[in-house]
Structure formats: structure tokens, C-alpha cells
Amino acid sequence: MIACPSPKCSSPNVADLPHYWQSLPSESPLKAKYAPPARPKASYWAAVAGIVAGVLVITGGGVLLGLLLIVGGAGWGAVVYKAVQWAEAQRAAWESSHVCLACTGTF
């Protein structure tokens, strides 16, 4: 049995955050407060475009510029990847959270 971790509350009246959130009516102000983190809009097209453009520039003779484009594209891809990983971790944390129905704290 889980209880609220707040020392002033310690109520055993806690709910799964995802279930609680789903049961809220959409007009409830709590619906936004307890909403899950947004799904990341992962877009690798800029990274891929940079790498493709870099290869094209290199085959056209612009080795240095081409390498810069490839490195930039790969770096951007890594940034997008990190952002996706972070957002997935936030989402997983939300899915395993609980809400206290007495003091409305989440944990």
C-alpha cells in the first residue's frame, strides 16, 4: 500500500497518476495540471539533409564545406536523439507517478 510521502499528509488515499488523469473530465483544470509530458516531435530530416548535402558537396569538390555539413548534420542528429531520450524518460516518470487525493501532491 502506497501512502503520500508528504509528512503533513501521509494519506493512504493515492491514485495512479495516468489512471487519475484519464478519469478527469476534459473541462477540469486539473486535466492540464496533471497532463503527461508532450511526445517529442522527433525530426531527423534536418540531420539527414545536412549529411546528404555534405556528401554531394564533397563529390562536387568542396571537401571542407562538405565535411562541415556532415559533422553538423551528425551533431544535430545527436541533439535530436538526446531530446527524444529525455522526453521518453519524462514520460516514463509520469507513467509511474502517483497523485495524492488528499493534498493533490504528485510523487
- Per 3-state DSSP, the chain is made up of helix, strand and coil in percentages (nearest 5) of 55, 5, 35
Identify any residues that bridge with 97 across adjacent strands, giving them in sequence order.
Answer: none
Task: Please state the closest distance from residue 103 (CB atom) to Zn ion, in A.
Answer: 3
Evaluate whether 99 touches 15 at the Cβ level (below 8 Å).
Answer: yes
Instruction: State which residue, 5 or 60, has the beta carbon closest to Zn ion.
Output: 5
The residues of the shown chain that bind Zn ion, judged by CB under 5 A, are 4, 6, 9, 11, 100, 102-103, 105
Task: Please state the closest distance from residue 76 (CB atom) to Zn ion, in A.
Answer: 43
Instruction: State which residue, 11 or 90, has the beta carbon closest to Zn ion.
Output: 11
Q: State which H helix or E strand residue 33 sits in.
A: helix 29-33
Task: Please state the closest distance from residue 105 (CB atom) to Zn ion, in A.
Answer: 5
